[in-house]
Chain A
C-alpha cells in the first residue's frame, strides 16, 4: 500500500479544542490497523503529545536536537510499548517555535516518508510560526474544531490561511459535540458548523468523560472499547485510510422510557 508515507497535520487555530487528543488517538487507531506511524509534536515549548501517550519519561532526544544536528531522527523516536510500528518524535520543552523552520520540517518528513505509512504532525494553537512549521510539509490538513463560535471563527481563519498556502481545503473534525445540548438548541449543530466552514467533514467526536482520565493515564481513548469518542476516532482513522464509514448516531441510545417521555413532552 505504501507509495511513500503521507504527512497529515492536525491543526485548529483555537487552543484546547482537541488537536493533541486527536493526533494521539488517530495515530494509535492507524497503528492498530497495521499502519507504520510516526507522530511529531510540533508544539515546541508547550509539548503535550508525549504526556497523553504516556511516553514522557522515555524522552532523551527531541525535534530540536534533530534539527540542530545533535542526533539522527531514529535516535529521537520513541517506540510505543503496545505497537512496535508506532513512534513519537517529541517536541523540546525548553526552547520555542523559532528553533525550527518550515524548511526544517519539510526536510525531516522527506527523510521519514520511505519508512512510514503516516507521519502525523500535532500543530500548536495559533497562526504564527509554530502553525506554519506544522503545516509546511503536509499532504493533508485536518482541522479540529468545537461546536462553539470562537472555535469556528478561528477554524475559518485557518482554512483561509491554508488556501493561501496551497494546502486547502483540508477536512474537518468536529470534536466535543454534546448531542443533548444540540437538541435543546444550546449548541451549534454539525450542520451550523459545516454551513460556515464549507469543507468536508471527516468525523464528529462526541463529548465523552472517558477522555480526561485517558489523557491522565497516558492511554489514548481509542483503546477503550466502551468509549464513544474512542469509536469516533477509530472511524476517522478508517476514513483516512479510504474506507467509507457512516457517521455514528449522535444521540445517546435512549431507553424506551426516555423515548416515551420525549414523545409526551412534545419535544
Chain B
C-alpha cells in the first residue's frame, strides 16, 4: 500500500497514511505529495486517517504544522488507536475512533468477550474543550466546569465531573454516566436532562446516573 493516499470526500480531503512506515518518512512523502499539486489542495479541510498507528501528540502536532504551512487545515483524525485519540484531543482536533474489521472465524468457539468501542482521555478536560465519541468515553481526570463530554455510548469519569455531559447522545436511553464525584453543571442521557442539586457541603462519592421510570436518577455506584 502506498505511504500516502489522498481522495476527495464531502467534507474536504481524506488523507490516509501508512500504518507501518516510519513517521518522518511519511511526513516527507505527505509534504512532497501536497507540494506537487499545491493548487489542487489549496484551502482544503483535511481529515487524516492513521489507521491503527498510535500517533503521539508531538508527531500529530508536526503533521498539523506541516499542513498549516501549506495553507491547509487539519480538521479531523480517524484512528483505531487510543493513543492517537488522546493526542488529537490534546491538540483540540476532532477525532473519530474507527472499528477495525472483525476477523472471520468460528464464533461458536470464541471464548473471548467482545466489548464495544470507546475512547480514553488521560487528562483533565478543561473549560472550553469538548470530547466527542460515537462510542463510549472514559476520562482519567476531571471534567471542569465549561467543558463538554458527548458520547453516543456511556461516560465514565474517573475524577470529578463538574462540566456538561451527554451520554446516549444519539438517543440511546440505556446509556449511563458514572463519576467519582458527580456534580455536573448539566447532565443529559438521550433526550432527558438534569442538573445537580446546589449542595456546597456535599461529600464526594462515586455515583451513577441512568434513566429509570422515565427520568434521570442518580444512585451510589458500588
Q: Which residues of A contact B92 (CB under 8 A)?
A: 164
Is B54 close to A, CB under 8 A?
no
**Contact size range, A:** 10 to 19
CB distance from A130 to the nearest CB of B (A): 17
Q: Which residues of A contact B24 (CB under 8 A)?
A: none
CB distance from A238 to the nearest CB of B (A): 30
Q: Considering the chains assembled together, what is the distance between the CA atoms of A19 and B52 in angstroms?
A: 45
26 A-B interface contacts by CB (under 8 A) = A153-B127, A153-B146, A154-B127, A156-B126, A156-B127, A156-B144, A156-B145, A156-B146, A157-B126, A157-B127, A157-B128, A159-B126, A160-B126, A160-B127, A160-B128, A160-B129, A161-B128, A163-B90, A163-B126, A164-B90, A164-B91, A164-B92, A196-B144, A196-B145, A196-B162, A198-B124
Q: List the 9 closest A-B pairs by CB distance, nearest first.
A: A160-B126, A156-B127, A157-B128, A157-B127, A164-B92, A156-B126, A156-B144, A160-B128, A153-B146
Q: Is the interface of A mostly helix, strand, loop or mixed?
A: helix
CB distance from A163 to the nearest CB of B (A): 7
Is A261 close to B, CB under 8 A?
no
A-B contact count (CB 8 A): 31
Q: Considering the chains assembled together, what is the distance between the CA atoms of A198 and B123 in angstroms?
A: 11
Contact between B91 and A153, CB atoms less than 8 A apart: no
Q: Name B's A-contacting residues (CB within 8 A).
A: 61, 90-92, 124, 126-129, 142, 144-146, 162
Q: Which residues of B contact A161 (CB under 8 A)?
A: 128
Contact between A166 and B128, CB atoms less than 8 A apart: no
0 or 1 for each of A139-162: is its CB under 8 Å from B? (1 = yes) = 000000000000001101101110
Contact between B61 and A166, CB atoms less than 8 A apart: yes
Interface residues of A in 163-195 (CB under 8 A from B): 163-164, 166
